[in-house]
A and B are shown apart, each in its own frame.
Chain A
Amino acid sequence: MAIQTDALKQEEVKLSKEEIQRYSRHLIMPEVGLEGQLKLKRARILCIGTGGLGAPLGLYLAAAGVGHLGLVDFDVVDSSNLQRQVTFTTEDVGKSKSEAARARLKALNPTIEITAYETRLTSENALELFKDYDIVVDGTDNFPTRFLVNDACLLLGKPNVYGSIFRFEGQATVFGYPGGPCYRCLYPEPPPPGLVPSCAEGGVLGVLPGIIGSIQAMETIKLILGTGEPLVGRLLLFDALAMRFRELKLRRNPECPLCGEHRTLDKLIDYEEFCGIRGEEAPAMTDGIVEITPKELKARQERGDDLFILDVREPHEFQICNLNGKLIPLGELPGRVSELDSSREMVVHCRSGKRSADAIRFLQTAGFKKLLNLKGGVLAWSDQVDPSMPKY
């Protein structure tokens, strides 16, 4: 039976003269060779996300000759993506990401098959999507999808090549490898919303996803070839500012609900609820906080009302645009609260309204009462009052 299968595969997968030329720098390496190149051609790899991490990943896997690539992304290309998502060009702005990436990768390597899935990965479609692929590469940007990819890979027994980034720091590892740990072994639970700064507050240095996504591409190719030491049981940490790589040990957690001794999870769950993104927590965010809309603020300023404007963003954000308020970054607020006058009515704002809500909650505990949160922050101010104000 095995011989038959091998014979079938030999017959099915061959390299054309054009492919031999294209992959010659692989073929002359003993670590890849013709056998390795055929493994790459037979491989079916699913990339979740075609953004910052997905860009180098897709480009390198396509260039390397991975025979079948799946690209999952529901989003459209935005001009703010172009700073790091190097698959896309300025002309792609407004187009479907998965489709734009498919076209770009197909132009790079017309000999491979690429399937674009213009859909959001959900608990309903993940198992069906994953089942036809050998390896899943996680290039997403949010906790619910991270847990979903991990759990679906574990349930199907597929490796999950993980990478994540924040500002100038990155993490990479391979989860779901036979005998190795999974994402839940490392982090049993997601952070509650609000406790970890979001990317809106964080930003990311454009080259960073290029480096981490390239590491994911390298690990994927090593897994396909079965060569070298895979990044299993090791968490690679990268600090771009210090230009330093560190490695920490990852162990299987015997109490892991998914791959531990007493498995309590045997199916996919509602990951948004698990991560507290919707449900009980959301309405609580604005409890006890009075909002003012940009239009109301504008009207009250024009009326000459005495309103103190507190901007809790960072100094570099203040430089991009501001409402002539006093700048005290959220992180410095507890130490600088004495600079504020609690007798004056105060409008607190940030970029979108989240940090200012945190600031108000803090100021309330410090005894301030006349507090208003600018609804939607400077983004809403730009939309509703002053379109000349740049958005970022």
Chain B
Amino acid sequence: MAVKVMIPTPLRQFTGKQASIECSAATVGEALGNLTTSFAELRKHLYTDDGRIRSFVNVYLNDEDIRFLDKEHTKTKDGDTISIVPSIAGGLAATLKEIENQR
């Protein structure tokens, strides 16, 4: 199945700046597996060391959260869009300074 994986801004640095990647996969898990094989650096951002999708990253098949479908076993069909949606906190200067101070 030809599917499109949407890469969010914070993770594009690991996909050669590409905003979306087309690949062939029968399930959501397979698509993400293909993706992290092509872009190894992405792996630790998507998965924990024991191979679970990280809890601050959500994965959607079209507009539905895969946690409420069949998780990584959710089957895909041609033309589906998979979205990786990480939590983002913002980009204001206040925290910037705090982070600097903590470093």
Contacts and interface: CB of A to CB of B under 8 A. Distances in A.
Interface string B80-103: 000101111111111111111011
Contacts of A198: 95-96, 99
Interface in B1-39: 8-10, 13-14, 19
B44 interface: yes
A200 interface: yes
A131 B97 CA distance: 30
B91 A199 contact: yes
B41 A250 contact: no
Given A169-B9, A189-B55, A200-B99, A249 B87 contact: no
A329 B16 CA distance: 12
Interface stretch (A23-31, A48-56, A152-160, A301-309): A48-56
Given A198-B99, A242-B19, A51 B93 contact: yes
B77 interface: no
Contacts of B90: 51-53, 139-142, 164-166, 199, 204
Interface residues of A, number: 65
Interface string A189-208: 11100011111101110000
Interface stretch (A73-81, A103-111, A224-232): A73-81
A386 interface: no
A171 B88 contact: yes
A78 B94 CA distance: 9
Contacts of B93: 51, 75, 78, 80-81, 199
B75 interface: no
Contacts of A141: 89-92, 94-95
A277 B102 CA distance: 9
B50 interface: no
A68 B95 CA distance: 27
B57 to A, nearest CB: 8
A73 B83 CA distance: 34
Interface residues of B, number: 39
A44 interface: no
Given A247-B63, A331-B13, A331-B14, A189 B96 contact: no
A196 B85 contact: no
Given A166-B10, A169-B8, A248-B85, A49 B102 contact: no
Contacts of A139: 90
Nearest to B68: A251
A77 B16 CA distance: 36
B85 A235 contact: yes
Given A187-B56, A198-B99, A354-B103, A164 B44 contact: no
A226 B30 CA distance: 44
Contact of A167 (B9, B54, B68, B103): B9
Contacts of A329: 13
A168 interface: yes
Given A166-B88, A379-B100, 9 more contacts: A49-B92, A141-B90, A166-B9, A169-B9, A203-B91, A251-B68, A331-B14, A352-B100, A352-B103
Interface of A: 49, 51-53, 73-75, 78, 80-81, 85, 139-143, 146, 164-169, 171, 186-191, 195-200, 202-204, 209, 235, 237, 239, 241-242, 246-251, 253, 277-278, 282, 285, 329-331, 334, 352-354, 376, 379
10 contacts: A74-B94, A81-B93, A142-B90, A191-B86, A198-B95, A237-B83, A237-B85, A249-B64, A329-B13, A330-B13
